[in-house]
Amino acid sequence: MPSDLLEISDLIVDYDVATLQPRPVSREAVVARLMANGQRSAARFVQRLPASNDTLDFEACSLALLRSHIELQRLSEEFLQADRIRCVLLPLLQALRDSGVKPPLRIVDVGCGLGYAVRSLAAHGRLGRDVEIIGCDMNVTLIENARRLAEEESLSCELRVANAFQLEQPGHIYISTGVLHHFRGNDLSAFFAGQRQGHAFVHYDIQHSVLSPWGSWMFHQARMREPLARHDGVVSARRAHPTQTLLSAARAATGFTCASLDGARNLLGAMLRPMSATVGTRAELWEPLQRHLGPLRARLGPTS
């Protein structure tokens, strides 16, 4: 089995990044790619998806993604992911205020999906009245449902069908959860390069460890019911980047001062902290950030 497995969700929908319009996806091409990669069960799943003249039905694929994201929200809830993000955002926002950045301070969630982090931060983050929280995703179905959930709770946040790096008013802080492992090579560099326009970023993803795939498999077998969620959840753990890969890409693409937060130094650390964050700021913000982090500062790795 190849080490660089493919996630079904990355293959069954495609978008023009300029227009955000969906592009047709050939079912047989996806099946062939998965078979060539040795992922037979994934290929069988795709083969069962509705298609017309070999073009995958976009609505059916979007609904499959929606069902998976509903289950992924449960994962984020159980891992207290919004609290993890908030603990870094609060000192980051204070560092921005201290540096004289004029409000509103914009937090942009890249690839927000159902907007769990955005909605949770809006509901419970206590980030300040000078903060705007914006979630961006290219999938219309996910954003429509995210908006519905936000409206039901009367939350003060925005959820947009948009490229997070092409907003009319760029973000000051970019965040994401479970996004980094989707990118490889030049695509990973481009992901970070899009954030040079901002002041800082906090990107959480699965901890890279030999134990992560096993832990992910057990959790998804016990807690997930959707075949797509079960498959991609385990593959995500296999695709997680080593800390140094992420830091090297982030530093080269942005010129920011960067470090890992909660990066595991041993197997026990990986078991206790299944998620770690790649944190970066403009150079002048790094010292204020560390000051405002307080005890959390001890969980930052080296900056070089």
Domain range annotation of the chain = 14-65, 66-299
CA distance readout (Å), 251 to 181, 201, 245, 247: 17, 12, 10, 6
- DSSP secondary-structure letter at 80? T
Decide: 121 and 82 in contact? Cβ < 8 Å. Answer: yes
Per-residue pLDDT, 79: 81
CATH architecture, domain defined by 66-299: 3-Layer(aba) Sandwich (3.40)
Low-confidence ranges of the chain (pLDDT < 50): 1
AA identity, residue 151: E
Are 206 and 212 in contact by the 8 Å Cβ rule? The answer is yes
Nearest to 120 by CA among 145, 85, 168: 85
Please state the pTM of the whole predicted model: 0.94
Q: Which residues contact 35 (CB under 8 A, 6 or more apart)?
A: 43
Q: What is the dihedral of CA 170, 133, 236, 247, to 10 degrees?
A: 50
Determine the pLDDT at residue 269.
58
> What pLDDT sits at residue 221?
78
* Residue 1 pLDDT: 44
